[in-house]
Structure 1
Amino acid sequence: MRLKPDVGSVVGPSDETHWGQTIFSPAAYGVVEVTKVGAQAHGVALLTRISERFKDPPVSLAALEQFAQSLLTTEVDTVILLVPVGNIAYITIVGKGAVYLKRGNTISALLKGSGSISGSLTAGDTLVLASSSMVSAVPEESLVGMFDHLTAIEAAEKLTLFLHEAKSDVGAAALIFRVYEIKTEPDRPRVATTRPIIARIRFPRIHIRMRKLSVITIVLLFVFLVSVTLGVVKKIRDSTSRDVSNVMIEATHLFDEGVALLDLNPVKGRERLSEAKEILEPYREDKRVADLYSRVMDNLTLAMHSVRAEPELFFDVSLIKNGGSAQSLSLFEDILGIFDAVNHSVYTLEVSTKKSTVIGGGEAVASGEYIAVYGDNAYISTDTGIAQVRTSDNKTTANFISKADQWGTIFSVVAYGGNLYLLDTEKNRIWKYVATEKSQPAGRQGFSEIREYLNPDSLPDLSKATSMAIDGSVWVATSDGKVLRFTQGKEQTFLVQGVEPSLGQSLIVYTSDESKNVYILDRDNKRVVVLDKDGLYLAQYLWQGNVTPTQMVVSEKAKKILLLSEGKIFSLEIK
C-alpha cells in the first residue's frame, strides 16, 4: 500500500531576520522557519542537513522525533517533518508551528507547537504543515474554505494570495499535502477452471427496432467517449500540476541556496542558480513558474557580472601619422607603447589623457613585430634582434640585443622588473635577459647573456602560445583553450572556475604586477573574462559587433580594457 500525494508549496518573502522554506523529497516533506540575523544562510545550512538525512528517511516516529530534536537551535523557529510509510504518516514538530488535517468537510488541528503524531491517511485527506509566521498570518477558520474541490497547487495559490493580502507574510511557509490516491498491490488473477460465466447466461429476446437501438447505442457511446476524454484531460492536468509543483519546490530550494552562497562561495552559488534555471526552463511559460524564473535569471545575471557592451574606438593611430596602423601594444603604468608597422614608427600614448608622442622608428625597426615598454625604454623585436627606443632622447638603436643562435620563433616580448622575456613558440622556451649595471657603448644600460627562464625539468608545449603576461609569475595563453602559469621557472596548476559558457579555443591573456585580476580575451566567444589570480570567475564583458581583437592590455587604474583590432585601439569600460 502506497500514498500518491499532490503537493503544493507556499513561501512568503524573506528578509535579514526572517526566512521560511518548504522541504520536498521523494520520501519526506516538511517546513522550516528561521528567525535570526543572517536567516537565509542559517536556513540553507538547515535544509542541507535535512536533505542529507532524508536520503535515507526514518521509518519510525521515534527516529523522526530524535532527528527533529537535533535540528532545534536558537535561530530555528519551526521545524515540521512528515514521512509517509505505506498509508501511515509520521509527523513531528519542534519549535512553533501547526499541522492541520482536512478530512471530508471538516478541518482540525492535529498538532500545535512541539509534538509528534502518527496515523493512517485515506484518499482525499489534506495535511497542511504551517510555520510559526504562517499560523500567525492565517487564522484556522480561514483555512476551511481554501481547499474545497481544489488540487494542492490551486490551494497553495489561493493561500499565497491570502497571505499576500494579510501583509504579514515575511518568513511564512506552508506545505499542502493532499492524498489523491492510495495504491495497493493488485491480487493475482484467478485462472478459470469452468466455462466462462458469460457462456452460461441466457439473454432474453429484446423486441426493439434496430434503428432505435442503433441511435441509443451511438448516444451512449458518445457519452462514454466524452466522459473518458474529460477524465483523461483531468488526469493529465492533475499530473502536470504535480510536475510543476515538484519543479517549483526543487527550484526554490536551489534558488535560495544559490543566493545564500553567492557571498561565501560564488562559484557554488552560480552553479545552484544555473541548476534552478535549467529545471524551470521547460515550464517558463507557466504563470506559476514565471515569477520564480524571472528572479532566478535576475540573480544569475547579477551573479555572473555579465556586461554587454560594444567596444568603442579609443584611439586611431592614423591620427599620429597618415596611414598609421598599430601592430602591437604594451602598457607600463599610464603609458601605452604602440608599434606602427606601416610607418616603422614607435609611439607612446597616455591612457588617461590620450596625449600621443612619436618616440622613434626608422630602418632599425623595419622588420619589427612586438613591443615591450618599461620605464623610459621601449623594445621592439625584429628579424635581427631587439631594438631599443629611448623616450628621454627619442633615440632608436638597432640590435640592442642581437639575435641569439638559440632563438626560434619569437612570438611575444614582455618587460618586467627591467628584465626582458621572449616567448619562443618554435623552441618551447621562454628566454630571459636580466638587466645589469654594465655599461654599453654610449653609456646604455645593458643586459646579461641569454638565459632560460623555465626549469630544465619543465617541458611545456608552447607551440600554440598566443600571448604572454608577467606579474611575478609568467602567464601564457594558447590557441587550444589553455591558460598556463609558471612561477620561478616551474609550471603551477591553474584551474579556471565558474566560467559559463566555458572558454573557447583562441585565448589571449593579460595581467601585470599592477593588476589585481587576470583578463582572458576569448576571441571565439567575443568576450573578455575576468578571473582572480586563483582562477575564480569574477565577470565578463561581451559584444556582438565586428571587432575581432588580436591583442589586449588592461589599465585597472583607468578602468579600461584596451583591444587592438585592425590597426585601431578599442576600449571597454571596467564596471
Structure 2
Amino acid sequence: MLYANFAAYKKEFAGEEFQGSICENNFFGVLSTEGGLEKEKGEALLRKLASDIAEQKIEHLVDLDAYVTDFCKNENLPASFSFSCGYLTGEVFLLKTIGDGVVYVKRKHIFSNLLEKNLSASGYVENEDSFIFTTDSGSAGYKEALKKIIDKADPAEAAQALVPEIAQKDLKDRVALFVRFENKEPTLTEAEEHLVADPSASTIASQQISEHPNIFKEWLGKAKAELQGQDKKKKTTLILISIILVVFIWSVVLGYQRRTSATLDQRTQETKELVVEKLRQAEDVAFLNLARATALITEAKGDVAALKKELKGKKPNEIADLEKLVAEKEESVLKKEERSFEEYYDLSVEDRNAVGSRLYFDGENTVILDTQSGTAYLLSLSKKSLEKRNASEFRNGDLVVRSDDNIFVLKKGAGIFGIDTENKAKKVVENDKDWGDISAMVTYNKNLYLLDRTKGDVYKYVPAEQGFSEKSSYFKGQDNPNISGANSLAIDLSVHVGFPDAIAKFTSGQKEGFNPTFPEDDTNIIKIITNTDIEKIYAWDKKKSTLYVVNKSGVYERQVNSPIFGKGDDIEVFGANAYILKGSKIYRVSVD
C-alpha cells in the first residue's frame, strides 16, 4: 500500500491574487489566479472540489477530466486561472492540468515534465515516485530549480529548499505542491509472516494474534494440564472449547484469504474498466489525433502488463482476455493488418552467384541490381522471364532505374552510367562536384530526377543526344523549400519527397498542404513508393516491419505488417502486391 507524504510552497498575496493548494481525500492540487478570487473563497473552492471528487468515487481519467472542467465552469473561476491536480484511486494516479498548470514527475533517476497546459493523463504510481504540482509560466530557471531539489526525500525539505532557489534566480513566485509516495508496509513478527500479502487486509488479524501470543500458549498449557485427572464430562467440555478455538483461528485465516481474493478480483475489474475506457477514448480520437490514440493504446498495454505482474500467475484467463482485447482494438483503431509472405522468384535458379541489392519497377518490368558482379537483371513479372545485362561500370553502383528499355546506374563519385538493349554501356551524366549525398533517383517522362539530401534539392536531367542535359533544379524559379535530410523520392503528377517521419508533396515546384499523420512518433520511413499507375502512396518502415498506406490526398489509411518487411534490402509495389528483395530472392506480400 502506498502512502502520500506532501508539503506545499506558496507566497501569500494580498487582494484578489490567489495561490493555493489542497491535499485531502487522495486529491492533490494547486490553483492560481491573477485576480478575481480572494483567499478565503479560493481555499473553500479547493476544499469543495476535493470533497466532491471523493463523494463521486471517480475511478477513470475521463470522469476526472470532465468533472474538473465542469467544476471550474460552474464555479465561475476568473478567466486567467491555472490549475494542476491529481487524484489517486487505488494505485492509479489520474492527472489533469489547465492553463499554465504543470505536473513534474521523478521516478528513479528520471525527472521530466509529465503534463502541461490543457491535458490529462493517468498511470500507476510506484514506490518513491515524486510529483510536483505547480503553475509555471514556462521558465527554464524554475524547472532547473525544481530538478535541483526534487531529490530530497522529504517533501517539506524540498518545499523549504525552493525558497532560496526562487530568490537566487529572481523567479516569479508561484505555488508548488510536493507529493512523494512511499510503501510503508507494517513489520510483522516472524510467527505471522505467512499472512503477509495485503497489509491492509491482514493488519487487524495479525495485530490481534501478535498482541497475545503468550496468553494463547499459556492457556493451551493449562488446558493440557487440566485434562489430566479430570472426569470424562470435563474432558469433553475442554476438547470442545479447544475445537471451537481452532475453528475460530482457522476462520480468520480463511477470511483473510477470502479478502485477498476479493481484493484481486476488485483490482482485476478496475484494470479492465480502465483499459476499456482508454480503448474507447483511442477509438474516439483516432481520426483527428492518431498520435493520441496510439498513446492511449500504449497506456492500456502498460495497464495490463502491470496487472499481470501484480497477479503473479493468477487469473491467467482474465489476463489473456485483456491482452486479446487490447490487440484487437489496436488493429482496429490503428488499422493494422498482419500479412504473410511468399517466395516469388529466386535469381539463383538462373545464376547461382546472384545477390541483389537494389530494386526498381518500371511497370511490370523489374530491375534488380547486383553491385558485386555489375549485373542488372530484368525480370518480367507476368512472364517470370529473366534477362541479364552486365557492365563493369555497374559494380559498386548505388542506385538503379529503368527508362525506355535503358537501365541507368548512379555510382557515387563516378557519375551515371547507362546500358542499352544491346548490352552497350556508356557514361550518360558526368560526376558533379556540386552533388552532395544523392539518396534517391527516379525517372518520369524519360527525365532523370536526383534527390540531394545534403543540399536539399531535386535535380532534373532531360534526355539529350549524347546522354542527358546539364542539371537544373526542380524548384527553379521558386524559393527552394527545406528538404535537407530527405531520403526518398517518388513521382506521379507531383513530386513526393520522403523523410524519416513525414512526406512532402510538390506540384510544379510549389509545396502543397500535404501532411500525412502516422500512428507512432518514432516512425522511421526509409522509402516512399508511388507513380501514375499506383493509386496510393506507400511508406516503408523497415525497423517496424511495416508498410504504411496513405491516399494521394495525404490521409493515413492503414498499415500492413509482415516479418519480411523487416528483413528486405529493397521494396517496390506493383498492382495489389509489394515485392521485397532479399539477397537472391524476391518475396511477395499482398497489400490490397
**What's the counterpart of residue 37 of structure 1?**
none
1:247 paired to 2:258? no
Deviation by residue 1:497-528 (Cα, 9 ceiling, x = unmatched): 2149x435x83433334334443433334443
Match of 2:497 among 470, 475, 479: 475
CA 1:322–1:264 in 2, change beyond 3 Å: closer, same or farther? same
Deviation by residue 1:384-440 (Cα, 9 ceiling, x = unmatched): 3222334xx546341122222323454432113432122345x5344513426xx51
CA 1:295–1:324 in 2, change beyond 3 Å: closer, same or farther? closer
CA 1:430–1:354 in 2, change beyond 3 Å: closer, same or farther? farther
Match of 2:567 among 548, 557, 565: 548
In structure 1, what is the Cα distance between the partners aligned to 2:386 and 2:523? 35
Match of 1:511 among 521, 527, 530: 530
- SS, match of residue 354 in structure 1: coil
8 A Cα contact 1:335 1:349, kept in partner: yes
Matches within 5 A, 1:309-458: 309=339, 311-321=341-351, 323-358=353-388, 360-363=389-392, 365-366=394-395, 368-382=397-411, 383-390=413-420, 393-394=421-422, 396-424=424-452, 427-435=454-462, 440=465, 447-453=468-474, 458=481
AA aligned opposite 1:476? G
What percent identity do the matched residue pairs reach? 17
CA 1:339–1:292 in 2, change beyond 3 Å: closer, same or farther? closer
AA aligned opposite 1:297? A
1:572 paired to 2:585? no
AA aligned opposite 2:432? A
Larger radius of gyration: 1
8 A Cα contact 1:386 1:400, kept in partner: yes
CA 1:518–1:482 in 2, change beyond 3 Å: closer, same or farther? same
8 A Cα contact 1:28 1:57, kept in partner: no
8 A Cα contact 1:496 1:537, kept in partner: no
8 A Cα contact 1:27 1:54, kept in partner: no
TM-score when scaled to structure 2? Answer: 0.50
CA 1:419–1:260 in 2, change beyond 3 Å: closer, same or farther? same
8 A Cα contact 2:372 2:396, kept in partner: no
AA aligned opposite 2:496? V
Deviation by residue 1:227-281 (Cα, 9 ceiling, x = unmatched): 5544544443443333333333333444455556778877666665555444344
Measured after TM superposition, the shift of residue 340 of structure 1 is: 3.2
Measured after TM superposition, the shift of residue 330 of structure 1 is: 1.2
CA 1:315–1:209 in 2, change beyond 3 Å: closer, same or farther? closer
- SS, match of residue 434 in structure 2: coil
In structure 2, what is the Cα distance between the partners aligned to 1:404 and 1:371? 18
Matches within 5 A, 1:144-293: 211-212=222-223, 226=250, 228-256=252-280, 258=282, 275-283=299-307, 285=315, 291=321
8 A Cα contact 2:374 2:395, kept in partner: yes
Match of 2:558 among 538, 548, 562: 538
8 A Cα contact 2:361 2:572, kept in partner: yes
In structure 2, what is the Cα distance between the partners aligned to 1:341 and 1:286? 53
8 A Cα contact 1:28 1:54, kept in partner: no
In structure 2, what is the Cα distance between the partners aligned to 1:214 and 1:518? 92
In structure 2, what is the Cα distance between the partners aligned to 1:280 and 1:552? 36
Measured after TM superposition, the shift of residue 371 of structure 1 is: 1.0
Which has the larger helix fraction? 2
Measured after TM superposition, the shift of residue 563 of structure 1 is: 1.7
Measured after TM superposition, the shift of residue 565 of structure 1 is: 1.9
Deviation by residue 1:416-470 (Cα, 9 ceiling, x = unmatched): 3432122345x5344513426xx515xxxx64321234666545543xx654433
AA aligned opposite 1:249? E
In structure 1, what is the Cα distance between the partners aligned to 2:280 and 2:563? 31
AA aligned opposite 1:54? Y
- SS, match of residue 248 in structure 1: helix
In structure 2, what is the Cα distance between the partners aligned to 1:384 and 1:209? 99
Deviation by residue 1:328-378 (Cα, 9 ceiling, x = unmatched): 2211222212333344333322223323334x4434545643211234433
8 A Cα contact 1:323 1:342, kept in partner: no
Q: Which moves more between the two structures, 415-424 or 489-498?
A: 489-498
In structure 2, what is the Cα distance between the partners aligned to 1:3 and 1:406? 69
**What's the counterpart of residue 199 of structure 2?**
none
8 A Cα contact 1:453 1:489, kept in partner: no
1:561 paired to 2:589? no
Measured after TM superposition, the shift of residue 293 of structure 1 is: 5.1
- SS, match of residue 247 in structure 1: helix
In structure 1, what is the Cα distance between the partners aligned to 2:419 and 2:450? 17
| Structure 2, unpaired ranges of 5+ | 1-23, 27-52, 75-218, 227-237, 309-314
- SS, match of residue 326 in structure 1: coil
In structure 1, what is the Cα distance between the partners aligned to 2:386 and 2:272? 59
| Structure 1, unpaired ranges of 5+ | 5-24, 31-46, 64-207
AA aligned opposite 1:451? S
Matched positions, count: 371
In structure 2, what is the Cα distance between the partners aligned to 1:324 and 1:288? 52
Measured after TM superposition, the shift of residue 569 of structure 1 is: 2.4
AA aligned opposite 2:398? E
In structure 2, what is the Cα distance between the partners aligned to 1:282 and 1:366? 54
In structure 2, what is the Cα distance between the partners aligned to 1:485 and 1:263? 20
8 A Cα contact 2:304 2:319, kept in partner: yes
8 A Cα contact 1:321 1:343, kept in partner: no
CA 1:211–1:29 in 2, change beyond 3 Å: closer, same or farther? closer
Measured after TM superposition, the shift of residue 226 of structure 1 is: 4.3
In structure 2, what is the Cα distance between the partners aligned to 1:541 and 1:304? 12
Match of 2:327 among 271, 275, 297: 297
In structure 2, what is the Cα distance between the partners aligned to 1:53 and 1:376? 65
**What's the counterpart of residue 35 of structure 2?**
none
In structure 2, what is the Cα distance between the partners aligned to 1:342 and 1:262? 46
Measured after TM superposition, the shift of residue 380 of structure 1 is: 1.6
Q: Which one scores higher on RCO, CA 8 angstroms, separation ≥ 6? A: 1
In structure 2, what is the Cα distance between the partners aligned to 1:293 and 1:228? 35
In structure 2, what is the Cα distance between the partners aligned to 1:221 and 1:440? 109
AA aligned opposite 2:67? F
- SS, match of residue 543 in structure 2: helix
8 A Cα contact 1:563 1:570, kept in partner: yes
- SS, match of residue 54 in structure 1: helix
CA 1:227–1:209 in 2, change beyond 3 Å: closer, same or farther? closer
In structure 1, what is the Cα distance between the partners aligned to 2:465 and 2:545? 46
8 A Cα contact 2:25 2:54, kept in partner: no
Measured after TM superposition, the shift of residue 493 of structure 1 is: 7.9
8 A Cα contact 1:384 1:399, kept in partner: no
8 A Cα contact 2:294 2:520, kept in partner: no
8 A Cα contact 2:452 2:459, kept in partner: no
- SS, match of residue 339 in structure 1: strand
* RMSD over equivalenced CA pairs, Å: 4.7
